[in-house]
Structure 1
């Protein structure tokens, strides 16, 4: 074994890029919410960007290293420490058997990602290890359960050289987030005032937020469309239910939905939203598909060269 979990919470999950090609079965994609931080954590160890990692939501995780090796963390600053000595929120580091790795509580951001050489091992279901509680898929024991005290994690590679993430690539998770949104098919059904308000006021992240979606609090958005046939739901879709408060749908979302959509957040915006704590402030910024593709390709180029 490589790591023993000594204490955990329901928000400590084994994740990778998620499941694709199975939404016609009613199975959504899942996967790491902040795929950017997951990719960089893997990059530091020379892994494929989609290798399985531990997604650590809000801290509360302690582990004991059972073999020498190297690990990397990226994403939120959760007060990580090794044998009581502080670790940077972004960085790779050597570990020895018997050392204790701990994540306390959020200082900035919501989710940190722990990577190991070659990625963590587990039983793949529908092509992925990603933990999906609703579908009871994935995770260490292939039952959709979060990692728990006593679980043993294994990694499949050997510790090699480690790399430092360029400072320019480390996101600032403080302050007001700016989330780019591509306008959707029903955007024209919203009143002009609602469209103005959507992009010219600040939104607050509600406490009603999980891996399925994040409710945003702010001005009431009015849509003249009273009903519609349910449609497939893309990652980042921003639905507006009758109360006028938008919901940004994330990786564990339902596969279809019948509320009108303002549009969809770009993949980079989804990753940033995943790091927003309840009460955080954000702005929606309109963009077009071509510009979003360009920015997305640039982000991937940082890993692949």
Structure 2
């Protein structure tokens, strides 16, 4: 692994779980590079390994799960850190927004206590300073009447406001890397738009990098600089958002984009990906996507394609990616 000292650099990340049907590899050889100040999208269907990837990065996968690989943050090896050093890193330099705030927030503690818990662990602030910072954070994330709401409980907030509280907790110690696990899921489109604009503003204000996990390609288009597409625990395509949306080179990416409505006067049928994702404990031989792929050949059924670069800044794991791109251009 290279000795880069800026940003996040991941090589060969794997997360394996023991199941009655045998080992299930939820994350399989993931490589990522996240530059300082970059917003990176990680997309795919439910069960593709996106959320487990974030937890594996933070070493939040516990037995019967097992994590392997190399994760370097600003030149330091997260996988080799001692528990106390890792605790200082989590919530301090690297923060995470979990997918469902109602289960991530403690229902019996006021939100002020939950924000101050982060500050107590990662700063030298006294009690008065922590309360002032908690109030400032609620203002930053756009919660009205913040002084009054500091001592309210999670159930007294709406879904969008709870998500803002989660963001406030994550930002308490001014992290340099934010891992956001579908933070806009189940929110109405108005609140979702507010949250996305908030994240971009905070990215600029705090100069932080963001890894944004989602299955919503519209969110990726409006928020992210680069993206990676995951399927069955592996990254199958990477590139800038504009390049991948314009010319997908993996049939799975093409299928995802084809299932999204496009603007225009002419009404057209949406495409769909036939079949369902495979079970992680019983992946098919060769390319995991071949049972659902219209471009599959015998080579795809025998061998698993590696993720390889085909243009500056772009990679794909497909033997027939040029055919896929041509088909997209002709569609």
How does the TM-score come out when normalised to structure 1?
0.28
Query: Is the radius of gyration larger for structure 1 or structure 2?
Result: 2
Give the number of the structure whose residues are more often helix, by fraction: 2
How does the TM-score come out when normalised to structure 2?
0.26
